[in-house]
Every structure is written in C-alpha cells, then in structure tokens.
Amino acid sequence: MFTKKTLFKTTSCFLIMTCFLLGSFTQKSYAEEDLMDFAEKSGFPVKENYRPKASIVIDADSGQILWEDQPDLSWSPASIAKVMTMYLALEAMEQGKFNLDTTVTATEKYVDISQLYALSNNKISLGVDYPVRDLFSMVAVPSSNVATLMLANLVSDNDEAGFIRKMNEKAAELGMTNTTYFNCSGAQISAFDGLYQAEGIDPNGDNKSTARDLAILTYNLLKKYPDVLQFTSKPVVTTMENTPYAETFETYNYSLPGAKYGYDGVDGLKTGSSPTGGFNYIATAKKGDIRLIEVVLGVGDWSDQEGEYERHLAGNAILDHAFSTYEYKKLLSKGSNKINKKEINLEQDFYGFVKKDTQPSFKLVDGQLSLTNNYGQVSPNIPVHSVRYQESTSPADDKPSAKHEKKNSSAPSKTNKTEYNYLVSAILAILGLLLLVFSRVFRKRIAGVRRGSRKMATPTTRFLFILGALLLLSAIGVLLFL
C-alpha cells in the first residue's frame, strides 16, 4: 500500500528525471557558455589554438567580476608592464614632481637604447628635449622601451633599481598579490645590452602577473587617472608634432574603432607580446554609462605572429559577451522593501549589475545591503557596492495591519504554487493514462499475432502498465500535498 511518503518519493524521482531529460535538450543560456561558444555567436570566432590562457572582464566602476577564466594563472605580461610605469608617472605628476610639459633630454644612453633592434622603440635624437606628454604617447602606442625608461628615470631621479622597487611596492599596495616586477618595460634588463642597470635586480628576471592583478591595476588607474585614456584612444598618433623629430605610429590595439578589428566603445588600453608571454591585451570600453575592463593573456605563440591579431577577436568576444549578458539598472527603490524575508528601509535607491532577464539576490550584513554575485569582487581591497538599511519596526497597534499586509503579499506566491501543482498533477495523470492505454493496445496486438490465444501480458506490457499506474499515483500524490 502506498503511503504519502512513498508517493512523494515517487513524484520527486519522476520530476527529477523529467527535469534531467528536459535539461539535456535545453540550450545553455548565453551567460553560461564558455569563450569558444559565445565568441562564435558574437561574430568574433576564436580558433582553439588562439584561446587565451587566462582572461577576465570586470565592471570598471564597482570592480565586480562579470566573467573569468583562469584569472589567477601566473603569466608574463610582456609590455603590459608599462601600464605600471605609466601609473607611477601619473602619481608623481599628481604629487607635483613634474607635469606633461616637463622635458627629458636625450642622452647617448637613450639614443643607444633606441637603436636596439630586438626591442620595440622609436627614434631618439641626441640632445633633444622630449616632453612627458610625448613620452606617454610613445609608451602607450608604439610601446617604446626607451621612452618607458626615460619616463621611469624621471620619476625615480635615475634610480633604476629604486623604480622597480616602487613598482613592486605599488603592486602590493593595490592588492596585486601575485605580481612581481623585474623591469619597468616588460623586456628583461639583460636585453638592453648593459644600458639598463638595476643593482640588486635579477637582469634575467621575467615579470610575472595574472589577469586578476592586471585588472586590479587597470581599475585603480582609471579610477585615479582617467586622463590616461587620452594617450590610448587613437588608432594613429603623431609625437613631437611640428618639430623635425615628428613620428607617426599606428596602434597595436586593433580593437580601437577605425582599426582592423574595431569594437564600438573601446578607448584603450595596452597590448604586450614576448617569447615567454605570447600575445597579451588590456582593454577598456564604454557604452552608455557602462565601462568595462578586460584582460586577455597568452593568445597564441610568439613564433606565430597571427596572435597579434587573434587576441583582439578574443577580447572583442569577451567584451561583447559582457555587454550583451549584463545590464546596469535600479534594483531597489529607496524606502520600504522586503528582502530575504525581512522588512527593511533603504536610505537610497540601489543600483547594480545583473544578468539580463534574471532576478537578483541580495545580502544583508551589518546594516548594509549588497548584491550577491557569483564571481565576486576582483579584489578584497575593492569594497562591494552597498547601501545602508534599517529593519522596519511597527508600533503595537499597527501589528494587525502588518500581518494582513504580509498575508496579502504572500498570497500570490501561494496561488502560483497551487496552480503549478495542479499543472504537474494533470501532466502526470495524462502520461499515466496514455501508458495504460498503450499497455492494452500491445496486449491486443500480441493476441492478434497469436491467433486464437487469449490476451496475455508480456514484460513490455507489464512495464507500461506499472509505469502508467505509478504516474497516476504520483498525480494523486501531488494533489494530496496541495
């Protein structure tokens, strides 16, 4: 004899099996697909041998991670290391040590470095004064190693080892826990043929970082020094304009609008490539009020220069995925709200990043409401966006009305649950009846084949009959629990 418990178990097993079967035929949501899937859909297909080794995309305002893949993989950032050099130069300017019009005079050492064929560079002429604003453009666009060293030495008063120590100190301060710098430009000190000296620093040391750490660096850079984008947003730049030393450079950031793989909204930031790091890329893009930061590391192999272009297909696909999957909107209004079964009063409207067509969930901790996010913050040093709340308290004479409101507010959900149970019960009953009918039909067919024999049950007909009966009982079980 079937008990309620047995019926409940039978119903549950059937529903689980049904969900599993339906799930196997249901296409994954856009937000749940991996890079190779959503890259194809976005129109920026990524070949398997150019899949990034690590990548991440975050909201530039809150530091919320929107998507990631191997974000803590240790990797050589190559010329992306120059972003930290620019950060420290901008910080020195903020401290009043120099400004964009300050000049650095080209010495023989700088001229010799500019002529090293193995390093990315630009022309430097002996005795010429190079303004800091032009050095920034030389660092950001042609990724000039000599301009990077000139800028670093300006910051550190020519203490090359001291500047590298500043880089590591700043990394630690920003929470870049898996980053170590051995040089200011991404090129090993030993590659400078003795022209770059940093006492106490391993000349063969290769900078190491992660996608997460580089996203943290870029987040802080854009928060504190957003004007850096003036040096990274153009596909073509000319330095030392209106002088005999003018040079024009095309960007390596092929995702900038107007470049080979232009993506709407991209306005920086830095590319990097090396034998140990492959092809890397930091990008930032803005659409409407939303600005994103992405980091892509380890695309392709240094021996295959196609990686220089393919990193931008991956980068564009990741940006497109984030812009298409998420939206920033008002989630809760100021005043009374019911969150996690608590009546609370918010001090102000609450906005946040959520996946489209989903219901957000919230956390209430120590009087602060925040959004629950599967990926979390890019760094524990970057606090999650929150708004203060107070739990609602009602006077004694208001309690009956409060209970009445609570009852009314919960009524729709109960009604929905009841309607859902009726639907499930009806489906189970129909399936059960169909199986019972099929079992009878099969018995008749068997009797027809065996001429003159009476209707006999077979293993198949017994199975159909038992399964049909179980489905009918399950339907009854669902109704019993209404």
Q: Is the pLDDT of residue 137 over 50?
A: yes
Which residues are registered as beta bridge partners of 284? 293
The CATH architecture assigned to 35-326 reads 3-Layer(aba) Sandwich (3.40)
208 is catalytic: no
Which residues are registered as beta bridge partners of 345? 336, 390
143 is catalytic: yes
Instruction: Give 175's contacts (C-beta < 8 A, 6+ positions apart).
Output: 216, 379, 380, 381, 382
Active-site residue among 42, 62, 76, 82? 82
Model-level pTM? 0.74
**CA–CA dist 245, 262 (Å, integer):** 29
What pLDDT band is residue 473 in, cutting at 50, 70 and 90? confident
**The predicted structure's pLDDT at residue 456:** 52
**The predicted structure's pLDDT at residue 422:** 67
What pLDDT band is residue 454 in, cutting at 50, 70 and 90? very low
**CA–CA dist 417, 113 (Å, integer):** 74
Which residues are registered as beta bridge partners of 412? none
Residue 21's CB is within 10 A of a number of other CB atoms, namely 10
82 is catalytic: yes
Q: Which one-letter DSSP state was computed for residue 352?
A: E
Q: Is the pLDDT of residue 429 over 80?
A: no
pLDDT (tens digit per residue) in 234-252: 889 999 999 999 999 999 9
Average pLDDT over residues 394-417: 44
User: Between these two residues, 453 and 369, which has the higher pLDDT value?
Assistant: 369
SS3 state at 64: strand
Say which CATH class 328-396 falls into: mainly beta
- Binding-site residue set for substrate: 270
Helix, strand, coil shares of the chain, percent, nearest 5, are 45, 20, 35
Active-site residue among 42, 143, 379, 386? 143
Active-site residue among 42, 55, 62, 79? 79
Domain limits, the chain: 35-326, 328-396, 397-480
